Structure 1
Amino acid sequence: MPMWYFDTETLMFPDVNEAATRHYGYTKDEFLSMSIRDIRPAEKIAETEALVAANKLSGKYYGGTAQHVKKNGEMIYVNIESNLLDIDGRPVRLVLATDITTMVEHQLEIFNVNLKVKESESNLRALFDSAIDGFVLLDSEGIIKLFNPKASNSIRFNKDQSPFEIGRSIFEYIETSRLSYFQELIAKVYNGETIDYERMFRADGDVNWIRYTLTPVREDGKIAGACITGRDITARKLYLRSVEEQNKTFREISRMQSHRYAHHWPVLWVCCLC
């Protein structure tokens, strides 16, 4: 592994080993005409000088990481281990430099992947929370694993119960009169069926319609839970009712008009004969 001495006063290299010349690309003579400043990025030189001065005063073993620059301009990451020695009355540092570039790059890759995952999770969570539908995710036992804010409003299994809580059973939120029916539906979902149904609610004199979709959730090819989706379809229901009432009115008008013309038809027929 690359090793060298450097003078703590001048920062020059009195000696380097063959591994250092091979790894950094400089000949030994080139190394001996250089200082440690020459293998550090320009923006790190002042920091390096301050660190050497501090370590010279402490005289202690130093261990840390740094960025070095090879002769070809390649930037590498190294793990530095050094001790203060006295050679011919001059304080020098004996340095062992281990190239950890590959390890650092792998760590950076993992960090970037995790960052992207977190960003993706954040984006999905934002979409989940802002969805117009209510979602409740259950495990295989009907325990609530996750739900979005809309669920407390649009998935109203029992309006008299408290808001949904993670870790509680979904069956705690079902009215007693509907519990058996709902348990049958969930059992079908856990057997692979997708269930759709609509339910009407009355609250404060208003009528509200919710369309529920119960879908099996699969993990590794097996059903591991269920997702309950609730969408408020009140506006659509009211619109359809309005259309039906309009159609009913139109049909009545058409019937009355037909009756009117049918009543006068014999007279017109006689006139035509004339």
Structure 2
Amino acid sequence: MPDEFLASVLESADVAVLACETHGNIVVANRAARKLFGGDVLPRNHPLFRALETGTALTVEFAAVGVSGVETNVLVSAKPLLDGDGNRIGAIATCAPLASALETQRGQAEEAKKRLELLLESTGEGVYEVDLEDRCTFTNGSAAAMLGYRREDLLGRRMHELIHHTDSKGQPRPLADCAIHRVLRDGRGCQIDDESFFRADGSSFPVEYSAFPILEAGAVCGAVVTFVDVSARRRIEAALHESETKYRTLFETVSEGIYQTSPNGELLGANRALVEMLGYDSENELRAQDVSDLYAVPQERERLTAKLETEGRLVDVELLLKRKDGRIIRVIENARAVRDERTQVIYYEGTLTLPR
């Protein structure tokens, strides 16, 4: 790109641009800079020279005095210029009238705020903020909907008194014991997965929430809380637990012996019927045995596992097993090989019954 074109672009820019070399001599000052500072001579306290001397970038307010003697407050961003080897060869600064810069910053901040609000409104998580007095200063639509309030009805309300006043046992939760209040007090975030929030109608629902401090100039000025309603998950967990309990009850009460074994001969699990069938006192005692030692003919297990490997299951196979007291019993086995996604056998499971 021709130097004349770049010089023309620089000269026509509305933002003042200044540059100096290592001795502090101004080598670039575009039209906006000359108008703002009144020529090529800058006061030695200009941020451009501070960036040159310290080697660090800075953004500060500065009072610029033009040719007419009129003082203009400007926002200056200055930083050192480095060559390809990282050596300092000068400094560059851009300057804009403070009112214009602040207006630009306000516009950028407002745009960022709008994007953040859109993001918060698009999430299914509830989000709200509180000040140091625990008063709600912001809430998104998801939070208001889950809590059963209109958004305007939450603003200014003390959230602990409103939604977090009682623990899972129905006992009052003092403010001092509230994890969110501790965030305001101590400035340390928290994640909680076993508490409940209360709706406007007085009903409660289980939640998982995170609370983190909001800092201003390094000091805590509030907290932001994000939460999700885990009612559906809790119902699923309860149903699974009930199903597992029923399965375990069935597992322990059926008359057939049920087992799981690993390919290397470890007994992974056995029900009460199998423990009694083989004459042991407990499942742990039985599991301490090598499965091969339970066969009257030890080589029989190798033959049957080979068949499971190739055919995938055993159907009504008769075999002889050895009880703890040494007595040999005849049983009928039905079993299958359980494989992972790579078709590798991870364990065998099956049933053993005594012939009628």
TM-score computed with the length of structure 2 as normaliser: 0.40
TM-score computed with the length of structure 1 as normaliser: 0.48
Structure that is richer in helix per residue: 1
Structure that is richer in strand per residue: 2
Higher alpha-carbon Rg: 1
Structure number with the bigger relative contact order (C-alpha 8 A, sep ≥ 6) is: 1
